[in-house]
Amino acid sequence: MSATAVPLLAPGQVLIDVPTLRAWLHAGQALRLIDARCAPAIGGGDRAAGRKAWQAGHLPGALHADLDQDLAAPAASAPGQGRHPLPEQAAFNAALGRWGIDTDTTVVVYDAADGSMAAARLWWLLRLLGHQRVVVLDGGVAAWSAAGLALDTDIPVVAGLPPYPGRFDQQQMVDADQVLARLGQAPGWLLDARAPARFAGHSEPVDPVAGHVPGALNLPYATLVEQGRLLAPEQIRARVLPLLGATELRDVVLMCGSGVTACHLLLALEHAGLHGARVYPGSWSGWIADSLRPVATTATG
C-alpha cells in the first residue's frame, strides 16, 4: 500500500486499538500521531512531565501537544473561563498547521493510558473545528507497550502547513450563563466528571472552592474505564442512561474541573453511540470564578 493511502474510519468511530494502529503504520498509511501526555493537576505534578515523557519515548512519528501551551490559553488571559480556557483560535489553528494537519489528515491522538490526560481534549478541539478524521488510541502508550511494541526517541520533523481553516463551533459547548439559566431543571442534564469526593465538596485539592453546581449529577470519568481502556459501549450506556432520565442527549451538558476530563466523558458517550452532548469548557473552576453563583455540597443539596 502506498504511503499516501488514507485509512478508512467507520462512521462515528472515535477509538482505535493497538493492533489496528500497528497495521496502519506497517502499511504506510498517511497518519499524524499526536502525543498529548500531561501531568494531572491534582498533586501539583511537573507541568513539563508530558513533554519529557514524549522525549523519552513515543509512538513512531508522534509529535507532542502540550495541554497548557497548545490545548488551552493561559488562564490569566481569559478571566472567569477556568484553569484551561479554550486556546486562542489563531494560535490553535497555527499549531495544527505546524503539526502538518489539514482538513484531510487522519489524526491519531494518545496519552499515557485512558485518554483523559489529555488525548480526549485534543480530539474534542478538532471536532469543534469540524474535523471528523480523528481517533483516540484506546489504552494509549500503556497499551502500545503492553503489546510489546517499541517506542521511538527520535524527534520527528514534519513539513509545516498553513494554519488550519475554520473556527470552533460554539453550538457544541455552553457557557456559565447557559448553565445558570437551567438550574431549576430536573437532574439529568448536567453531568460532572470529577471524583466523588471533589464533587461532594469533601475534598478539593485544586480549586479554591469545593462542591458542585446545584442539580448536577456525578459521573466520574474513571468509572467508564477499566485497565486504562474505555468500557464496551453497552456498559457505558448502562451507566449513563439511568442518570439522564427524560433528558435528551442534545440537552446534556458535561463538565469537570477545568474542561479536560469532561472531554473524556464526551468521548465515552460518543463511543457508546450517545451523540449530541455538549461540554461546558469553564467547568467548576470557571463556575466558581463568580462568587455569586450558587454552590452545592452533599450537606446543602
**Which amino acid type is present at position 76?**
A
Query: Which secondary structure element, helix H or strand E, spans residue 21, and what is its range?
Result: helix 18-26
Chain centroid offset of residue 283 CA: 13
Give me the phi and psi of 226, to 5 degrees please: -140, 120
Active site includes 256? yes
Of 111, 100, 113, give the one whose Cα is nearest residue 122: 111
256, 266, 274, 288: the catalytic one is 256
Of 212, 178, 182, 174, give the one whose Cα is nearest residue 195: 212
C-alpha cell at 110: 494518545
Long-range contacts of 251-254 (CB under 8 A, 24+ apart): 251/189, 252/188, 252/189, 252/190, 252/191, 252/276, 252/277, 252/278, 253/174, 253/178, 253/179, 253/182, 253/189, 253/190, 253/191, 253/277, 253/278, 253/279, 253/280, 254/191, 254/193, 254/278, 254/279, 254/280
How far apart CA 147 and CA 298 sit, in angstroms, is 43
Active site residues: 256
